[in-house]
């Protein structure tokens, strides 16, 4: 009998106890979040003796393990297992996993013989070598006034290089964009290369060129596009 009450004794409700732990309202909300899949994941940690890492929900009543896994090896330094060879390996100190790669230490490219464009380079560590063709091309010139092909002669071996001139959007050898008479379509435009006549097309919003209105009947009149033949009525 306290606090001015007569005859009744009020007792605070018992705090809910689960597995020996007090559970406040906030904890209850958090566990509810786990129920709908909103877990609070830990940092990655190693689950087993291999290099697979996992994460786990940190809430004591959940402890769910995330389905995601990742592999994190602890590699040592790169090592050459064989002297005079370019194969390198490194080993994981946790699980023994080995990765290898080959990395040559190439010397300079050198021409093999005079008047020939084959080049050779040798590895400074192992007996490997590589070859390539490297021409010494002169300035590119147009093949002729009506052509967009360009040629260049190699100054070492006389090899003739051919390429098509690189024509960009603002290249001055293009005509202006205009309607293409062959297409008879007001939405299609074409332009031509002024050197070689190569044609390029693009689609645009149709701009029709109509004739004057013509009275067809007392209530109808029409006009026709002079270019594509489209008919409009009113
Ligand atoms: Zn959880
Ligand atoms: Zn490992
Ligand atoms: Zn090598
Ligand atoms: Zn050459
Ligand atoms: Zn051209
Ligand atoms: Zn038209």
pLDDT at 107: 97
Ligand with the closest atom to the CA of 223: 6
Of 164, 187, 205, the position where a domain reaches its end is 164
Domain extent at residue 140: 110-164
**How many angstroms does the Cα of residue 212 sit away from the middle of ligand 6?**
14
**How many angstroms does the Cα of residue 124 sit away from the middle of ligand 3?**
7
- Cα dist. 70→19, 38, 46, 50 in Å? 32, 20, 9, 11
**How many angstroms does the Cα of residue 45 sit away from the middle of ligand 2?**
13
What are the tokens at 202? 């693009």
pLDDT at 194: 86
User: What SS3 state is found at 215?
Assistant: strand
pLDDT at 185: 84
Q: Give the list of residues 6+ apart from residue 155 with CB closer than 8 angstroms, or none.
A: 136, 137, 138
Whether residues 185 and 226 share a domain: the answer is yes
On the CB side of 155, how many CA atoms lie within 13 Å of its CA? 5
| Beta-ladder partners of 151 | 141, 162
Say if 203 falls within a structural domain.
Answer: yes
**How many angstroms does the Cα of residue 59 sit away from the middle of ligand 1?**
6
**How many angstroms does the Cα of residue 15 sit away from the middle of ligand 1?**
22
pLDDT at 80: 94
**How many angstroms does the Cα of residue 136 sit away from the middle of ligand 4?**
6
Whether residues 157 and 187 share a domain: the answer is no
Ligand with the closest atom to the CA of 104: 3
Classify the C-alpha dihedral 155-157-163-169 as positive or negative: negative
Q: In what order do the strands lie in the sheet with 52-54?
A: 45-46, 52-54, 70-71
Say if 171 falls within a structural domain.
Answer: no
Say if 90 falls within a structural domain.
Answer: no
Ligand with the closest atom to the CA of 62: 1
Whether residues 118 and 158 share a domain: the answer is yes
Say if 188 falls within a structural domain.
Answer: yes
**How many angstroms does the Cα of residue 230 sit away from the middle of ligand 6?**
6
Q: Kindly calculate the radius of gyration of the chain based on its CA atoms and give it in whole angstroms.
A: 41
pLDDT, tens digit (0-9, with 9 covering 90-100), for 61-118:
899 999 999 999 999 999 999 999 999 999 999 999 999 999 999 999 999 999 999 9
**How many angstroms does the Cα of residue 168 sit away from the middle of ligand 1?**
59
pLDDT at 199: 87
Residue by residue, what is the 3-state secondary structure of 71-105? ECCCECCCECCCCCCCEEEEEECCCCCEEEEECCC
**How many angstroms does the Cα of residue 58 sit away from the middle of ligand 2?**
26
pLDDT at 18: 52
Residues of the chain with pLDDT under 50: 1-17, 170
Say if 129 falls within a structural domain.
Answer: yes
Ligand with the closest atom to the CA of 116: 4
pLDDT, tens digit (0-9, with 9 covering 90-100), for 62-72:
999 999 999 99
Which residue is it, tokens 């464009």? Answer: 117
Say if 5 falls within a structural domain.
Answer: no
pLDDT at 171: 58
Ligand with the closest atom to the CA of 101: 3
Say if 156 falls within a structural domain.
Answer: yes
Say if 144 falls within a structural domain.
Answer: yes
CA distance 26 to 45: 27
> How many separate domains does the chain show?
3
User: What SS3 state is found at 150?
Assistant: strand
CA distance 119 to 113: 9
């Amino acid at each position: 009998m306290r606090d001015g009450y007569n005859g009744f004794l009020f007792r605070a409700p018992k705090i809910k106890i689960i597995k020996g732990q007090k559970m406040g309202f906030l904890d209850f909300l958090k566990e509810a979040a786990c129920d709908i899949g909103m877990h609070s994941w830990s940092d990655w940690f190693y689950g087993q003796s291999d290099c697979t890492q996992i994460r786990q929900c940190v809430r004591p009543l959940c402890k769910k393990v995330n389905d995601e896994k990742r592999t994190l090896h602890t590699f040592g330094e790169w090592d050459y297992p064989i002297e005079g060879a370019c194969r390198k390996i490194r080993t994981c100190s946790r699980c023994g996993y080995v990765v290898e790669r080959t990395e040559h230490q190439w010397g300079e490219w050198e021409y093999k013989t005079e008047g020939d464009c084959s080049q050779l380079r040798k590895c400074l560590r192992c007996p490997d070598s590589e070859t390539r063709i490297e021409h010494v091309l002169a300035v590119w010139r147009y093949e002729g006034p009506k052509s967009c092909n360009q040629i260049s002669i190699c100054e070492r071996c006389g090899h003739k290089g051919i390429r098509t001139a690189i024509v960009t959007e603002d290249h001055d050898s293009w005509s202006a964009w205009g309607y293409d008479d062959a297409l008879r379509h007001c939405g299609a435009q074409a332009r031509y290369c002024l050197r070689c006549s190569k044609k390029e097309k693009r689609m645009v919003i149709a701009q029709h060129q109509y004739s004057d209105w013509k009275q067809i009947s007392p209530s109808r009149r029409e006009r026709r596009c002079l270019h594509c033949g489209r008919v409009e009525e009113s």
